[in-house]
Structure 1
Amino acid sequence: MTSTESVSEDSFLHNYNANDRRIASEFLSGWLPFLTKGLCDSCNRKLTHRVRSLCPGDDSDKKSVGSLKDGVIDAAETNSLGSWKDGENGCAEPAVESDLGANVCAASDMIASSVPAGSGERRTSWADMAQEDELEGDEESEVTSTSRLSVANSASGDGTAEEKSVSKPGLSRDQREYIRFTNVKRKKDFACIERVNQKLVNILDGLELHTGVFSAAEQKRIVDYVYELEEMGKNGKLKARTYTAPQKWMRGKGRVTIQFGCCYNYAVDKKGNPPGILQNELVDPIPHLFKVIIRRLIRWHVLPTTCVPDSCIVNIYDKDDCIPPHIDNHDFLRPFCTVSFLSECDIVFGSNLKIIGPGDFAGSTAISLPVGSVLVLNGNGADVAKHCVPAVPTKRISITFRKMDETKWPVGYTPEPDLQGLQPLSYEADRSKHSNISKINHAGNLKAARSVDNSDRLKERGFFGPGPRRGRVNRQRLRLDMMEG
């Protein structure tokens, strides 16, 4: 394609509208380093020009859906956290289904911005978990992915295009979620023996680290929302005690916090209130997106149904920010958990943590918290060992989810109705699947054994095999022999 050729002149592109071409252009632009690898300069330029010319009106940089160094888009990443804004269009699913299959679908939830906010059409990716939660009736049980084709309306003759939906078979939403659920990695064997009250104790007993709970796309959506909440707090759009940003007067001091559900007092305040949940201070309720996270934690067996979180606190760390040694207040029940975003860091545990200097702590053991991981604290890990986060080397965000002791509820607090009665996914589906496979194998083995047994009996009787044939021909030979004799 030369520089003078127009995209509109290609008859193939007449089947797709401007939004479709924009999505295809943005997606393919992210794969250009791979697609052009090994090509000569001329072919490289032609391919690059062809991809970018899909959307000639877009002067932007053609943001890629994901860099190659950040990892390959996971085809099983099929239940993404969705928009927290009511009425948002969600993410746009690529209109052109390529051989990449599920990879295209998974990538689609990372380019939601490619659909104009003012467009009337609703283009919801099957990978958008939160919006699927909000869909009703048959939309929620949709088991097919939809590709949209623009077909010229020859009957009208006015050149307008008619949108048609073509259903393609795919995994159901429950099946997709179950695949991701079974791929979560869970470490529950942490051990560090210390002498506590003259007894040797595993101070890490009760800790669990769950990885693979949140995909890269989900993490990005959560982090973007946290930044939006931070801006709301700065602009006074959140309640006074919801958003707190102390002055950074020394290394490790001044971490931004955003609290929902209740206001937790870390130390004795100016009014003389002790550490714990403040009874007469109200903060904003838990946002919708964070409720989606909570439902994920319960459904995927990260937290038990007996401890559904009804409060959370967001910690926004800048470089060198930290959390000093502490044990979480018992105004909150056990277990509780913290989710890590943006960067990996260590959390230090010990029954006797030492403060070496500002943001510098020494303890018995450190556990690395990968990006997107969930650390669950329970048992000795929550109540015997203290924990702290030393000064972080780079920006980090964590969200800690906890359930309040009902006797400590703030005045006027009412439980969130949509967080009641949550149930975890069942492992029975997987068990029954393996059971059915075993039954099939067992039946097949029995059938094969019977077949072998019957063939052995037939061989013994001479019906087939190397022995002499028996039957009509042999009987005729017998009669001839008798006549000749």
Structure 2
Amino acid sequence: MGGGDGFLDLLQNLGREEMMEVLSDDGGFCQHCQALLRTRIQNQINNRKLRELSVNGSSAGSKISEPSARKPSSSSIQTSDSEISVNDGVSSLDDIGLLGEQNEHVRFAEVGRKKNFNYVERIYGKPTNLLQGLELHTRVFNAEEQQKIVECVYQFQRMGRKGQLRARTYSEPRKWMRGKGRITIQFGCCYNYAVDKNGNPPGILRQGDVDPIPLLFKQMIKRMVRWHVLPPTCVPNSCIVNIYGEGDCIPPHIDHHDFLRPFCTVSFLTECNILFGSNLKSSSPGEFEGPVSIPLPVGSVLILSGNGADIAKHCVSGVERRRISITFRKMDESKLPYNYLPEPELQGIKPLVYSPLSKSPVQQNQQENFKFPAQRNQHENFRSHVQQNQHENKKINDNKPGGAAETSNNLFAMQKDDFPPLGSLSSVNRQRTQQNNFKR
């Protein structure tokens, strides 16, 4: 399906009914063109919803308007043993977008993925890519889902202000200067940012009294694992919600190692930049400077691991407009709160092992190996045999002009930075080309 000015001129000459008639003729489009059209139309719908959400979010009558900053009176505060559940009145993502298995397949294929971030500094005299381990996954949550999640967060904010959440769950510091006053809501565990009045050092408070992860957030975790955003070996069991008002920030830091790697942060309401570097400096209250700035689109998930989580510091300067982020992390087992109980819904989550539009050979092998473990050994033996033959051929061809170049392509190797949307046409075509080359 080609583009170009001539094609666009033709479209502009069509009326609405004529356009609908052309697009409804499925017989006139191949499978790939139908998928491309579907993706572009869905993106336009999502963008329209986000624009409406942005406009409504700033109006007084918005469904997701920010809760009033008025503090509750002492008579309205309940004890930490309140019977009100954080899941009361909160719907799951299954109610707002995942209408069936096929719909999940289509959405899964539309996720954008980037992981080839690179910025080199000398660390202890050695050139080091500070951004190694970072991944950005876009279009993970669409506009309707974002609205539901934001509504849920504001509901928790209202509950927190009324004292309906457990003692350590909700925190709203006084906004006494620019950059101060970010609201936090912690679920699963309480993280202590600094030495507290009881002498507890920074880290997870094992006796901290917080609410468990809400149902909606567990649905978010399940999606991220199923859609290959988070690995099934590191399923989060805690999260922290950050609610930014204008001018609020997060100062430079490295996340505490009471939390395992990778961890992730999901962005809502407005896009902002996150800064990375080994030495981030403060230029004014709530403002920071650093060598690398990465935009975080709404509905996206930023994965932090490797050097990007352990060597580089990261921060967010004072935001220009309201923003919400949710950071999901898995606790080190030796640091679990004493009253922690595993969440049954977060056990045994398995990633999707197939592509929604057409199964690539690699994904087919993954599915077959998962079902038939005995055949995995046969595949490994075959792979080992081919690699041995390639090694022997290399010895022979190295003595010929151009011989080394002819055998340098390993059919079974995938480039380190290859990270297209799962099920994308580029990945399928690359796999088919490799198959054809191998058959020759």
What's the TM-score once normalised by structure 1's chain length? 0.56
Rounded Cα–Cα distance in structure 2 between residues aligned with 1:217 and 1:185: 18
Residue in structure 1 matched with residue 247 of structure 2 by the alignment: 320
Could you tell me how far 1:434 is from its partner in structure 2?
Answer: 7.7
Kindly indicate whether residue 332 of structure 2 is the aligned counterpart of residue 332 of structure 1: no
Letter in 2 for 1:253: K
- Letter in structure 2 aligned against 1:279: R
Residue 294 of structure 2: aligned partner: 367
The amino acid that maps onto 1:289 is: L
In the alignment, which residue of structure 2 is the partner of 1:215?
A: 142
**For residue 300 of structure 1, what is the aligned residue in structure 2?**
227
Q: How much does 1:189 deviate?
A: 0.6
SS of structure 1 residue aligned to 2:224: helix
Give distance in 2, aligned partners of 1:321 and 1:241: 21
Q: Specify the alignment match of 1:343 in structure 2.
A: 270
Amino acid paired to 1:423: K
2:341 partner amino acid: T
Q: 1:396 aligns with which of 305, 318, 323?
A: 323
Partner of 1:325: helix, strand, or coil?
strand
Corresponding position of 1:31: none
Using the alignment, how far apart are the partners of 2:217 and 2:49 within structure 1? 29
Q: Which residue of 2 aligns with 1:8?
A: none
Give the secondary-structure state (helix, strand or coil) at the position aligned to 2:233. helix
Offset of 1:271 from its aligned partner? 1.1
Cα deviation, residue 418, structure 1: 1.2
Match of 1:249 among 176, 179, 195: 176
| Residues 1:377 and 1:66: Cα distance change in structure 2 (over 3 Å) | closer
Distance 1:269 1:354, change over 3 A: same
* Counterpart AA for 1:416: E
Q: Counterparts of 2:136 and 2:248 in 1: how far apart (Å)?
A: 23
Greater mean alpha carbon deviation, residues 318-327 or residues 357-366 = 357-366
1:193 aligns with 2:120: yes
Cα–Cα, structure 1 residues 176 and 321, in superposed 2: closer, same or farther, change >3 Å? Answer: same
Sort the Cα spacing of 1:70 and 1:412 in 2 relative to 1 into closer, same or farther, 3 A: closer
Distance (whole Å) between structure 2 residues aligned to residue 399 and residue 242 of structure 1: 14
Listed as ranges, the gaps of 5+ residues in structure 2 are: 1-14, 17-44, 54-85, 365-427, 433-440
- 1:460 alignment partner in structure 2: none
Q: Which residue of 1 aligns with 2:304?
A: 377
> 8 Å contact 2:134–2:303 — kept in the other structure?
yes
Give the whole-Å Cα distance in 2 for the aligned partners of 1:70 and 1:427.
30
> Cα offset for 1:68?
4.8
Q: CA deviation at 1:87?
A: 7.7
SS at match of 2:113: strand
Distance 1:72 1:249, change over 3 A: closer
Question: C-alpha offsets along residues 49-95 of structure 1, whole Å, 9 cap, x if unaligned?
Answer: xxxxxxxxxxxxxxxx999584699xxxxxxxxxx96688x79xxxx
Q: Offset of 1:426 from its aligned partner?
A: 0.7
> Does the 8 Å CA contact 2:187/2:213 hold for their aligned counterparts?
yes
In the alignment, what sits opposite 1:180?
Answer: 107
Is residue 407 from structure 1 mapped to residue 334 from structure 2 by the alignment? yes
Per the alignment, do residues 433 and 390 of structure 1 end up closer, same or farther by CA in structure 2, a change over 3 Å counting? closer
1:446 maps to none
* Counterpart in the other structure of 1:420: 347
- 1:252/1:175 Cα in 2 relative to 1: closer, same or farther (>3 Å)? same
Q: Does 1:239 align with 2:174?
A: no
* Residues 423-442 of structure 1 aligned to structure 2 (within 5 Å): 423-427=350-354, 432=359
Query: Relative to structure 1, is the Cα distance of residues 223 and 415 closer, same or farther in structure 2, using a 3 angstrom cutoff?
Result: same
- Deviation string 1:426-481 (CA, Å, 9 cap, x unpaired) is 1266554789999xx9xxxxxxxxxxxxxxxxxxxxxxxxxxxxxxxxxxxxxxxx
Counterpart residue type for residue 399 of structure 1: I
What root-mean-square deviation, in Å, do the aligned CA atoms of Structure 1 and Structure 2 show? 3.0
Q: Which amino acid aligns with 2:150?
A: V
Q: Which has the higher contact order (CA 8 A, sep 6+)?
A: 2
**1:143-292 matched pairs, under 5 angstroms:** 173-292=100-219
d(CA) in 1 for partners of 2:359, 2:191: 45
Deviation string 1:336-373 (CA, Å, 9 cap, x unpaired) is 00000000101000011111221111111110101111
Alpha-carbon distance between aligned partners in 1 of 2:165 and 2:113, rounded to the nearest angstrom:
36
- The answer (yes or no) to whether the contact 2:109–2:356 under 8 Å persists in 1 is no
1:386 aligned partner, one-letter code: K
Runs of 4 or more, structure 1, over 6 Å off, are 433-438
| CA distance in structure 2 between the aligned counterparts of 1:362 and 1:409, rounded to whole angstroms | 35
Alignment of 1:100-179 (within 5 A): 128-129=97-98, 173-179=100-106
- 2:237 corresponds in structure 1 to 310
Distance, in Å, in 1 between the alignment partners of 2:338 and 2:361 is 51
Q: 2:275 touches 2:315 (CA, 8 Å); kept in 1?
A: yes
